[in-house]
């Protein structure tokens, strides 16, 4: 897949996920969603992908919703890495090269999601 195609696929997925979330969420959830998306890349850079994902997984509500969206994208993009639909299990069992690949992929997805959330959520 060409680089443009990858970005378009990622952007399309992010747009759908964010717009679906905004439609169903209340004002407070939307505000938190936007905030949690904004802080996730820094959390990944500071603590690593695994710890950041475990935190979002363990916290229920909006955090978990974001984790589920990320998991859905990775399952779609890299089904061979996630045969049993468990992103945490995947992240702790992959080698360093795959870990770096997933980190870059998740940050790229989150950047798209943040952009869309900033545009759709005005609070």
Reply yes or no on whether the pLDDT at 82 is more than 80: yes
Q: What is the pLDDT of residue 5?
A: 76
pLDDT in tens, 16-38: 999 999 999 999 999 999 999 99
Judge contact between 108 and 10, C-beta under 8 A.
Answer: yes
Angle (CA) 64-70-71 rounded to 5° is: 85
Query: What's the CA gap between 60 and 67, in Å, rounded?
Result: 10
Domain borders along the chain are 3-120
Q: What is the pLDDT of residue 3?
A: 55
Q: What is the pLDDT of residue 81?
A: 84
pTM over 0.85: yes
pLDDT in tens, 58-73: 998 999 999 999 999 9
Q: Which CATH class is domain 3-120?
A: mainly alpha
- Computed on alpha carbons and rounded to an integer, the radius of gyration of the chain in Å comes to 14
Judge contact between 70 and 106, C-beta under 8 A.
Answer: yes
Task: Assign 3-state DSSP to the chain and report helix, strand, coil percentages, each to 5.
Answer: 80, 0, 20
């Amino acid at each position: 897949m060409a680089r443009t195609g990858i970005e378009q696929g990622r952007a399309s997925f992010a747009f759908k996920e964010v717009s679906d979330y905004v439609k169903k969420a209340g004002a407070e959830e939307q505000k938190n969603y936007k905030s949690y998306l904004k802080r996730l890349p820094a959390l990944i850079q500071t603590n690593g992908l695994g710890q950041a994902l475990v935190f979002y997984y363990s916290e229920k509500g909006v955090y978990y919703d974001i984790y589920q969206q990320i998991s859905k994208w990775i399952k779609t993009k890299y089904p061979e890495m996630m045969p049993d639909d468990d992103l945490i299990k995947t992240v702790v069992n992959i080698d360093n090269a795959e870990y770096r690949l997933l980190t870059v992929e998740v940050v790229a997805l989150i950047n798209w999601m943040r952009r869309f959330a900033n545009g759709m959520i005005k609070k």
